[in-house]
Amino acid sequence: MTLRLGTRGSALAMAQSGTVAQAVRDRTGRDVELVEIVTPGDRSSAPIQTLGVGVFVSALRDALLAKEIDFAVHSYKDLPTAPADGLVIAAIPPRHDPRDALVARGGLTLNELPVGARIGTGALRRIAQLNALGRRFEPLPLRGNVDTRLRKLAEGEFDAIVLAHAGMARLGRGDEATEVLDPLLMLPAPAQGALAVECREDDAELRDLLAALDDEYTRAAVTAERALLAELEAGCSAPIAALAEVAEGDDGPEIYLRGAVFSPDGGFALRLSRTGTLADAAEVGRALARDLREEGADNALGVQHDPHP
């Protein structure tokens, strides 16, 4: 029987879902049909932070629960941290590059951009970190798919834009980045670059089938990052960043997790890190969140310093 894979209709979502569909075909021999689902986020041009967490997810989950589709593929960073009743993340495939990328006119890097450069981005997390650099950049709102954002840059609306490198790479446009940003400059969103393959919790056969796509290291890293986010009770539009990497330690693989909290104006910037085992991934994230809170993370949204005195 053909499996129905629900996906948003954007070029990036279709590319991501197409990759997962092919992996399922290759590993299981089952045929997969892509079913396009339109979400409220696709119909709105409002800034992401005003739309709310899960705006690209709810319609896909509704279709899953209504059994209109068998499984769905999400950009993991778009998922709310709270689990969805009746659904389960059956697989997290190997992660693409989690970093942010700068695309600037004239091939410039971030350091080469002039004071006052207009930088397009829709993410409060990126705006806060650009402000925190103290370079007097002018972050401007930017919505739309990857092609739309790159077109607006080419037409001169911005001097540069910042977007996820994984999305560019999945569309075959990764080489257009003028700089892939070091996480020390721009720490990414929790779970950026990772995909979540979701199905109904009671579909044991499909869960077992999809488990073949799961990557242990990616799951551990994303679990740590999202546990930090959940512990701080913030959504994907909040100025919180996290990146976990798995490296070989003295006693086997271990997680190195970096987390950061910013005020939107960049005047408050707190960065901390923790390490732990893969089995303790969630606790590593929660512990780092507690560390951040003890250092004043809860005050970040209320802080209004002038980052350019």
Q: Known catalytic residues?
A: 78
CB distance 227 to 289 below 8 Å: yes
CB distance 243 to 255 below 8 Å: no
CB distance 90 to 207 below 8 Å: yes
Distance CA 199, CA 272 (A): 35
**Dihedral, CA of residue 193, residue 161, residue 142 and residue 194, to nearest 10:** 0
Tell me the three state secondary structure of residue 173: coil
CB distance 91 to 211 below 8 Å: yes
**Dihedral, CA of residue 282, residue 283, residue 284 and residue 285, to nearest 10:** 60
Q: In what order do the strands lie in the sheet with 160-164?
A: 138-140, 118-120, 160-164, 100-104, 179-180
Distance CA 64, CA 72 (A): 7
Q: Which residue has the tokens 């401007």?
A: 140
CB distance 286 to 295 below 8 Å: no
